[in-house]
Amino acid sequence: MDNCRILRDGHIHSPYCPHGTKDPFELYIENSLKLGLKEITFTEHMPLPGNFMEPEFLKECAPSQDVIENYIKELESIKDKYKFDIKINIGFEVDFIEGYEAIIKDTLNRYGDKIEDSILSVHFIKVEDEYYCVDVSPDEFGKIVKKLGSVEKVYDSYYETLLKAIKADLGLYKPKRIGHPTLIRIFNTEYPFEYKNRRLLEAIVKEMKINNYEVDFNTAGIRKPYCKEPYPSGILAELVEAYGINIVFGSDAHTALDVGRDFIKYAGELE
Ligand SMILES: [Zn+2]
Ligand SMILES: [Zn+2]
């Protein structure tokens, strides 16, 4: 079956994700093989750099250090088991947390030699001295809007943080791919807004170009009930294309069934 020209899924979670499913690696891999994928990266969330928010909440966001050690160990043997069938990369999705750059760099240095592919994502923004997670729920998003005064200001804050992430010194093992760069649109059907600050978006894309970063073309947004579009979209997607930034498809699967999801819809336009 000629089901897709995209042969790689660069953004997949795992049974080690605290907010994901317990689907075993084998199930993700079997589904990848069925789709004809030739290469996949498991990008489990890297342990977070400290308790910058409610610890109970943060525990749900990313695995702890001990758990991530097991993730790497298990993947090393799984990789070997499937080596004749598919290329499997051991990876991380690394959170950029403003103010915690040094700790993030230390964590990356600790695991760097085991990590073959990775993504740098912004899920948290710092407002004054507080941190907010942007993709929890429409209600939580509403709180950020209230705090900052408008949806536009929330977008400003997100994209300013993204620019800082791209410029940050996270050391030798800093990821080369930027995760779901328009994640801030995750609740856009509830908070409709078209962001037009081309100057800031262009600064982001220029910085990606200078540093030779890639973009995670993330199809998870299509499945999100208040989003219905991939990341990136709109002006940012146009700029990514105009600047010739390389894109890597990512399903952001947290369940084996979502591997390679919706790639075919965009394959023709973007490859
Ligand atoms: Zn996740
Ligand atoms: Zn993410």
Range of the domain at 18: 8-270
Q: How far does residue 3's CA lie from ligand 1's centre (Å)? A: 26
Walk along the chain (271 residues) and give the pLDDT tens digit of each residue.
344 479 999 999 999 999 999 999 999 999 999 999 999 999 999 999 999 999 999 999 999 999 999 999 999 999 999 999 999 999 999 999 999 999 999 999 999 999 999 999 999 999 999 999 999 999 999 999 999 999 999 999 999 999 999 999 999 999 999 999 999 999 999 999 999 999 999 999 999 999 999 999 999 999 999 999 999 999 999 999 999 999 999 999 999 999 999 998 887 665 4
Handedness of CA 112, 114, 117, 120 (dihedral sign): negative
Would you call 132 helix, strand, or coil by DSSP?
strand
Per-residue b/e over 12-45, b at no fewer than 16 CB within 10 Å?
Answer: bbbbbbeebbebebebbbebbeebebeebbbbbb
Q: Token digits for 73? A: 């160990």
- What pLDDT, in 10s, does the model give residues 95-130? 999 999 999 999 999 999 999 999 999 999 999 999
Residue with tokens 């030699």: 113
- Number of folded domains in the chain? 1
Does residue 205 lie within any of the structural domains? yes
The span from the CA of 265 to the CA of 228, in Å, is 13
Does residue 3 lie within any of the structural domains? no
Does residue 125 lie within any of the structural domains? yes
Q: What is the mean pLDDT of the chain?
A: 96
Does residue 2 lie within any of the structural domains? no
Does residue 18 lie within any of the structural domains? yes
Q: How far does residue 261's CA lie from ligand 2's centre (Å)? A: 16
Q: How far does residue 199's CA lie from ligand 1's centre (Å)? A: 30
Does residue 213 lie within any of the structural domains? yes
Q: How far does residue 215's CA lie from ligand 2's centre (Å)? A: 13
Does residue 1 lie within any of the structural domains? no
Residue 206 corresponds to which amino acid? Answer: K
Domain CATH code at residue 74: 3.20.20.140
Give backbone dihedrals phi and psi of 124, rounded to 5 degrees, phi first. Answer: -120, 135
- What pLDDT, in 10s, does the model give residues 185-222? 999 999 999 999 999 999 999 999 999 999 999 999 99
Does residue 154 lie within any of the structural domains? yes
Strands 130-133 and 177-178, bridge-based pairing = unpaired
